[in-house]
Amino acid sequence: MPPLPGASGAHWQRYDPWRAAPLQQNGSVQVSPERRRKRARRVLVAGAALIALVSGSVGGAVGAYLERNGGVSEVELPQAGAESTDRTPGSVAGIAASALPSVVTLHVSGDDGQGTGTGFVLDARGHILTNNHVVEPAGTGGEISVTFSGGQTARAEVVGGDTGYDLAVVKVSGVSGLKPLPLGNSDNVRVGDPVVAIGAPFDLANTVTSGIISAKERPITAGGEKGDGSDISYVDALQTDAPINPGNSGGPLVDSQARVIGINSAIRSADSGSDPEAGQAGSIGLGFAIPINQGKRVAEELINTGKATHPVIGVTLDMGYTGDGARVAMKGNDGGSPVNEGGPGARAGITAGDVITEVDGQSVHSGEELIVKIRAHRPGDRLELTLKRDGDEKKVTLVLGSSEGD
């Protein structure tokens, strides 16, 4: 076939459409300089992309590490600077700071057992008020150790105690710098008032709890372990929801001005009734304190005479009566008249079988409640009693007599 016009036969014979580039003599492909430069640029771009990917991964890992660990320097967390430790007097902290130096922890041991309680300083002479059931285990030959809030300790001796009021006074000697705790007036207390309780629950000294006055004039009886009734205490108590536990007994219940308005004495727990220490049960928000007005009178008598007097109406009550009110027994404990001849009840005209339903207008539902209401007063106080006799109601006025407690 003749060659195409304009075409060289030799050149056509050398043309191979499937070969991208002419072969060098050794059989390798001959690449032009321009293609070499393009390939180099592609390699550089791919390398840069790989470096960026690796750098990004490493940078992310380093960033996460620094975020978790705060860098390579030492960790220092932000914190508030030094502030004044003073607190407003009416705050719980301010009340505690004022009252704690006057509160003590008592450790008692003797033939009748051992225990822990609380007390507070009454005067610079070393008198300390607490519960009678706190010091009772010491008996006549036991020991009482008093520890102050600053850690100082001293021996104490019982000045006097009374089971009916569940109050006792002990005295320390040779201790200087005593700070008496101011006494308030429990008659001024109102339901809802804020209060602070201080004590040593379960031997944790200087424990402070707070709450309010939940109720007033709660008739509480506690004790009675002897079985003859001689160790029962009758309290017209202040009720509080400030947590009180075994070991708080004898400690102060103070108002917003750090003045004592009550002596913490008993708790109602889920399984132990109102016994102050029974079962070692914890607080459920039902604590009871002896009003300080009663505590002050009894403490003064114990310090001055070693005994406390009890106000009486001079009648024997039927403690087994299940009706509403307090019924005068039909016979006295000795088989004679239940109304003491010449006593307050006799002078007021009370007779056997009368049912006392009110004291100064306040309802009385049992013999225990009547005793509690009577014990809340002083010998010589004048009371108005409401009686039921043979279906009729009458009112009588009497002046309380006095009997010496144990």
The catalytic position among 249, 265, 269, 366 is 249
Asked if residue 372 belongs to a domain, the reply is yes
* Residue 295 sits in the same domain as residue 209: yes
Among residues 98, 133, 231, 265, the one annotated as catalytic is 133
139/247 same-domain check? yes
Residue 12 has a pLDDT of 42
Label residue 60 exposed, middle or buried (CB < 10 Å: 0-12, 13-18, 19+): exposed
Helices (H), 181-222: none
Query: Can you say whether residue 192 is alpha, beta or left, with left for phi > 0 and alpha for psi between -120 and 50 degrees?
Result: left
- 148 and 229 belong to one structural domain: yes
User: 298 and 388 share a domain?
Assistant: no
Indicate whether 348 and 236 sit together in one domain.
no
Q: Note if 365 is an active site residue.
A: no
- Looking at residue 222, what is its pLDDT? 79
Both tokens of 84, joined, read 């004044």
Predicted local distance difference test score (pLDDT) of residue 73: 81
pLDDT of amino acid 4: 44
**What is the pLDDT, as a whole number, of residue 279?**
45
**Whole-number pLDDT of residue 23:** 46
Are residues 300 and 361 located together in one domain of the fold?
Answer: no
Q: Report if residue 19 sits inside a domain.
A: no
Please say if 133 is a catalytic residue: yes
**Co-location of 97 and 206 in the same domain:** yes
- Which amino acid is located at 4 in the chain? L
CA atoms within 13 A on the CB side of 227: 0
Asked if residue 7 is part of any domain, the answer here is no
Q: Output the tens digit of pLDDT for each of the chain's 406 residues.
A: 444 444 444 444 444 444 444 444 455 555 566 666 666 566 555 555 555 554 555 556 656 665 665 556 899 999 999 999 999 999 999 999 999 999 999 999 998 789 999 999 999 999 999 999 999 999 888 999 999 999 999 999 999 999 999 999 999 999 999 999 999 999 999 999 999 999 999 999 999 999 999 999 999 887 656 555 566 888 899 999 999 999 999 999 999 999 999 999 999 877 655 454 444 567 889 999 999 999 999 999 999 999 999 999 999 999 999 999 999 999 998 889 999 999 999 999 999 999 999 999 999 999 999 999 999 999 999 999 999 999 899 999 999 999 875 4
Residue 15's pLDDT is: 46
> CA–CA separation, 399 vs 380, rounded Å?
6
| CATH, residue 391 | 2.30.42.10
Q: Which of 166, 255, 275, 318 is catalytic?
A: 166
Same domain, 135 and 236: yes
pLDDT of residue 30: 56
The total domain count for the chain is 2
Please check whether residues 253 and 387 belong to one and the same domain.
no
253, 256, 261, 263: CA torsion to nearest 10: 10
Q: Are residues 293 and 322 in the same domain?
A: no
Per the domain annotation, does 188 fall within a domain? yes
For the residues of 266-321, what is the DSSP string, one character each?
EE-BTTTBT-SSGGGPPP-S-EEEEEHHHHHHHHHHHHHHS--EEEE-SB-B-TT-
Q: Which domain holds residue 341?
A: 309-404
**Residues constituting the chain:** 406
Q: Which residue has the tokens 């040593």?
A: 200
**Is 71 domain-assigned?**
no
Q: Are residues 165 and 217 in the same domain?
A: yes
Whether 160 and 297 share a structural domain: yes
Does some domain include residue 185?
yes
Give the pLDDT score at 9. 45
| pTM of the shown model | 0.77
On whether residue 299 sits in a domain, the answer given is yes
At 263, which CATH number?
2.40.10.120
Assess whether 166 carries a catalytic annotation. yes
Between vectors from CA 286 to CA 281 and to CA 292, what angle results, nearest 5°? 110
85 within a domain of the structure (yes/no): no
